[in-house]
């Protein structure tokens, strides 16, 4: 089965996960690129006003049987570049899955599922939110609250391995 991984990563955490999944799935990878460089202020404005991001027109060749989308969660919702991508590509893929390295706010899964469904026109067949709050040392949890400043390293993927394998199992891998 030919797989395309599409990711957006502001901090690099989801890019690292995309690289990990590329090896695991023997997949092609496409990074969502924005027209202008993003800042913390533009993230805040997107979240507050529900703005769509301006991304470059997606360009990846070939036909794919499976789409795996990765991106951060901002204020318990999908990042605007991911939302824009899903809207642009709506109907192109029969199904898709979503996975994110995120802060891990309690109760965000239902909101994320609803936003993915609205943007993509259908619910993802698999969803996994890999919580940094579960990974952070106790002395940093309150300081970073949502885990937004924590940068994972390749070795941190071991911590998420069980959750990633459960996610891949939902895809029949």
Q: What values do phi and psi take at 108, rounded to 5?
A: -85, -15
Tokens of 165: 């394998």
Tokens of 64: 């794919």
Q: What values do phi and psi take at 34, rounded to 5?
A: -90, 155
Domain ranges of the chain: 3-170
Nearest residue to 97 (alpha-carbon basis) of 160, 158, 169: 169
CA angle 22, 87, 113 (to 5 degrees): 70
Residue 142: its pLDDT value, please?
Answer: 47
* Pairing between β-strand 28-31 and β-strand 3-7 as defined by DSSP bridges: parallel
Give 3-170's CATH code, choosing from 3.10.20.70, 1.10.3720.10, 2.170.150.20, 3.40.50.360.
Answer: 3.40.50.360
In order along its 173 residues, the chain shows pLDDT tens digits of 799 999 999 889 999 999 999 999 999 999 999 888 887 777 777 777 777 888 888 888 778 989 999 999 988 889 999 999 999 999 888 899 999 998 888 889 999 999 999 999 999 999 999 988 777 667 656 455 554 667 888 888 888 999 999 999 999 88
Residue 47: its pLDDT value, please?
Answer: 73
Residue 170: its pLDDT value, please?
Answer: 94
Residue 58: its pLDDT value, please?
Answer: 83
pTM score, whole prediction: 0.88
- Do 2 and 62 meet the contact criterion of CB atoms below 8 Å apart? yes
- Determine the number of helices (DSSP H) and then strands (DSSP E) in the chain: 6, 7
């Amino acid at each position: 089965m030919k797989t395309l991984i599409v990711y957006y990563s502001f901090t690099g955490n989801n890019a690292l996960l995309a690289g990990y999944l590329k090896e695991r799935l023997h997949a092609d990878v496409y990074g969502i690129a924005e027209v202008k460089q993003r800042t913390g202020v533009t993230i805040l404005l997107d979240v507050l006003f529900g703005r769509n991001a301006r991304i470059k027109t997606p360009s990846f060749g070939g036909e794919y049987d499976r789409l795996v989308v990765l991106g951060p969660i901002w204020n318990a919702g999908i990042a605007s570049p991911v939302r824009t991508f899903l809207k642009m590509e709506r109907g192109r893929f029969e199904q898709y899955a979503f996975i994110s390295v995120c802060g891990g706010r309690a109760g965000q899964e239902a909101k994320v599922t609803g936003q993915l469904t609205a943007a993509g026109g259908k619910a993802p067949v698999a969803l996994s939110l890999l919580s940094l709050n579960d990974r952070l040392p106790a002395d940093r949890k309150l300081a970073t609250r949502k885990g937004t400043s924590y940068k994972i390293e390749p070795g941190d993927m071991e911590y998420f391995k069980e959750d990633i394998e459960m996610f891949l199992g939902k895809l029949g891998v």
